[in-house]
Structure 1
Amino acid sequence: MASEELNENEVMETTRRPDLESEQGRRAFIRVLNARMPKKRLIAQGVLRTEDGRIALCELVYKKDWDLPGGIVDPDESPADCVEREVREELGLDVSVRGLLAVNWLPPYRGWDDALLCLFDLGCVAEDTLERVVLQRREIKAVHWADAETIEERTAGYTAEMLAGVALDGREDTAFLENSAHRDGM
């Protein structure tokens, strides 16, 4: 078959008796499994900071809490590429991922299903960097440098806790978090 698409009869046949001996049969079976497996939302955010440790937070159009730059990872996009793209689109800044700070599993929150959040280090930049941002006004009202107190006051609790646990404590290794807290024994 030249096309990767299957009609409904072929899908039914594949789910009953897949021909796992042929590449075509294996690929058809994988497509059926892939269509039926759960999908989890993946978020990529970045920590962009000044030399004195303040962190860039975005004041968003669509929610009260300030948040880190980033967004939802598109299909077939890497999380690192996503955060670089989002910062470029929403703030007009070209940044490069310097490392992974944490992977944070987030339970359902305010009507959203659970998700995985990849938190990346975007490095230190000059104090005047935010003066040069070009905001995507349909999403971002403003961007601010925030110290630990401002982070606690202005961000959602899970964001403040995540940042306190990995970005503000000088941690060197990548953390695995559940609901923004270190998992016991990790």
Structure 2
Amino acid sequence: MSTEQPLYERDPESWHAYLVEGNARQPRKRVSADVLIRDVSGRILLVEPTYKPGWDLPGGMAEANEPPDMAARRELHEELGIDLEIGRLLCIDWVAPHGPWDDLLAFIFDGGRLTPAQVSQIRLQNSELRAFEFCHDDLITERLPQSLSRRVAAARSALVKGDVRYVHDGSVAR
């Protein structure tokens, strides 16, 4: 048995340098943070981005070292002009690499139900969004890519059951 002190005890600066080097070599994950926002009828808010085809949930990409819930709140404020308390986590989706993209961890948080007064305060804030609309299930399925539609369904199920769903590309993982 060695009696030599571990590196972190005998040379804290070298230990720190070792950790910095290890961190630099670790893979990075892209992280998105979306919000499931409903109106009083239970319809889900979708947004139409200008920078890609189709519709999406409100939210967006987390910045470096930004917690996903704070990223979601920031994105809602930047794009829709609303300051909304972000509720509990509903779903985490591991999205496999596709096209030019590496894999992604996609979070969906509960945004609650907006009153008509809150809905009337939504204002598109920048050129990233063309439109927003509260949609029933059939329109959600029609507008969203299949994997995102499945992710939304998983989030809605988690909302009803009071749990959190972990999915792969929108499908139940194990």
Give the TM-score, by structure 2 length: 0.89
Query: Is 1:181 equivalent to 2:171 in the alignment?
Result: yes
Select which of 128, 138, 145 maps to 1:149. 138
SS in 1 for 2:161: coil
Query: Is 1:66 equivalent to 2:55 in the alignment?
Result: yes
Q: How far apart in 1 are the matches of 2:153 and 2:83?
A: 26
- Once the two structures are superposed, residues 79-130 of structure 1 have per-residue CA deviations (whole angstroms, 9 ceiling, x without a partner) of 1111001000110001011100011100123422110011100111113533
The share of aligned pairs that are identical, in percent, is 31
Q: Corresponding residue for 2:3?
A: none
Alignment of 1:22-171 (within 5 A): 22-167=11-156, 170-171=160-161
Equivalent residues of 2:45, 2:134 under 8 A apart: yes
Equivalent residues of 1:53, 1:168 under 8 A apart: no
Q: How far apart in 2 are the matches of 1:168 and 1:137?
A: 32
TM-fit CA distance, 1:168: 5.4
Let me know the Cα RMSD of the aligned residues: 1.7
- Once the two structures are superposed, residues 49-98 of structure 1 have per-residue CA deviations (whole angstroms, 9 ceiling, x without a partner) of 11221111111001112001111111121111110010001100010111
Aligned AA (2:67) = S
Q: How far apart in 1 are the matches of 2:48 and 2:129?
A: 6
Instruction: Structure 2: give runs of 5+ residues left out of the alignment.
Output: 1-6
Equivalent residues of 2:108, 2:155 under 8 A apart: no
Instruction: Structure 1: give runs of 5+ residues left out of the alignment.
Output: 1-18
| Number of corresponding residues | 167
